Amino acid sequence: MRKNTVPIVLTLLTLIFTGAFIYFFFAPPAKRIGPEQPIPFSHNVHSGVKQIQCQYCHPYVAYSNHPGLPPVEKCLHCHNYIIVKHPWIQKEHRYFNTQTPTPWVKVNYVAEHVLFNHQRHINSKIACRECHGQIENLHRLPQKVWRMGMCLECHKKKKANVDCWLACHS
Ligand code: HEC
Ligand code: HEC
Ligand code: HEC
Ligand code: HEC
């Protein structure tokens, strides 16, 4: 073994650890703010500052398994008149003119075998923010993976049905 092998290896290890540290130190915030969207839509601008109701844009949330995201026509109801020349609004027009559905990136996920239905929840007067947090304060939505525990925690607190899960998993 050459005399300077040990210092070289140590130096390399230090470099690797420093690199990894810097990477992980800076990477998480980018993940926390969520995936980049095709148009940098801001809930804070629309629901916070301009106070547009959630259900104006998500009208089917109480009736459908797939509340869905607003079609670009809905954006243009307003943006045919508001900040018309903005490059992001021009991009809306391109989607509209080419009949391309806006490729929004989904941020909420439930396990595949779970069919989540908003209806029961909204009918029992649970506010959007109890599950989604204060979306009206956010510009970009963070990713959220729903685990069973998150459903059960509230079901226990509110004395809602937990039988199904207990039966399935015991
Ligand atoms: C009891 C918890 C809960 C409440 C209350 C709730 N949501 Fe949700 N929401 C969820 C979960 C869980 C998902 C992910 C469901 C899925 O991927 O199928 C979701 C998904 C969504 C989606 C995305 C749907 C899609 O098609 O991808 C929208 C939009 C949404 N919620 C809007 C709302 C609005 C608006 C309200 C209030 C009127 C609301 N939610 C109230 C739990 C809730
Ligand atoms: C009910 C009216 C209304 C609807 C519907 C609407 N917007 Fe807006 N939007 C506004 C207003 C008001 C502003 C603020 C304009 C300003 O700053 O002068 C705005 C601002 C914006 C901006 C610039 C925001 C920024 O961060 O500076 C973008 C991008 C945008 N909207 C995209 C959308 C998209 C995409 C949709 C459809 C999903 C949509 N809007 C639907 C009223 C609306
Ligand atoms: C002006 C239209 C508009 C309004 C008002 C609005 N949203 Fe949205 N919402 C969108 C668009 C567009 C997306 C997809 C882009 C994104 O994720 O930011 C979205 C995405 C979402 C999602 C994530 C869907 C997913 O991918 O899982 C949730 C949850 C949601 N909205 C809830 C709300 C709640 C709660 C309110 C009221 C506080 C609200 N929205 C008000 C247009 C709107
Ligand atoms: C913030 C509280 C809360 C959260 C979070 C929540 N639920 Fe619920 N859920 C309730 C309440 C309260 C009821 C009872 C509604 C009723 O009695 O009509 C309910 C009812 C249900 C029902 C109908 C049960 C029955 O009696 O048939 C299903 C299914 C359900 N939730 C699934 C889910 C799933 C899946 C999730 C997680 C993705 C979830 N819930 C998250 C509060 C919540």
Q: Are 146 and 34 in contact (CB under 8 A)?
A: no
Rounded Cα–Cα distance for residues 63 and 128 (Å): 14
User: Relative to the CA of 41, which ligand 3 atom is closest?
Assistant: 18
- Alpha-carbon distances, residue 72 vs 88, 108, 124 (angstroms): 12, 21, 31
CA of 88 to the centre of ligand 2 (A): 9
- Alpha-carbon distances, residue 82 vs 32, 78, 85, 90 (angstroms): 30, 6, 9, 12
CA of 118 to the centre of ligand 1 (A): 6
Residues 6+ apart with CB under 8 A from 54: 47, 61, 128, 135
Nearest bound ligand to CA 88?
Answer: 2
Kindly state the tokens that stand for 39.
């148009």
Q: Whose CA is nearest to atom 43 of ligand 3?
A: 57
Rounded Cα–Cα distance for residues 30 and 19 (Å): 17
CA of 43 to the centre of ligand 3 (A): 6
Residue with tokens 């909420």: 108
Band (pLDDT 50/70/90 cuts) for residue 20 is: confident
Protein residues whose CB sits closer than 6 Å to any atom of ligand 2: 39, 41-42, 45-46, 50, 52, 70, 74-75, 77-79, 82-83, 86, 88, 92
Letter for the amino acid at 65? N
- Alpha-carbon distances, residue 162 vs 64, 151, 167 (angstroms): 22, 9, 9
pLDDT tens profile 70-109: 999 999 999 999 999 999 999 999 999 999 999 999 899 8
pLDDT tens profile 118-167: 988 988 899 999 999 999 999 999 999 998 888 889 999 988 887 766 54
pTM value is: 0.88
How confident is the model at residue 167, as a pLDDT? 47
pLDDT tens profile 21-60: 776 666 555 456 789 999 999 999 999 999 999 999 998 8
Task: Tell me what the mean pLDDT of segment 2-16 comes to.
Answer: 85
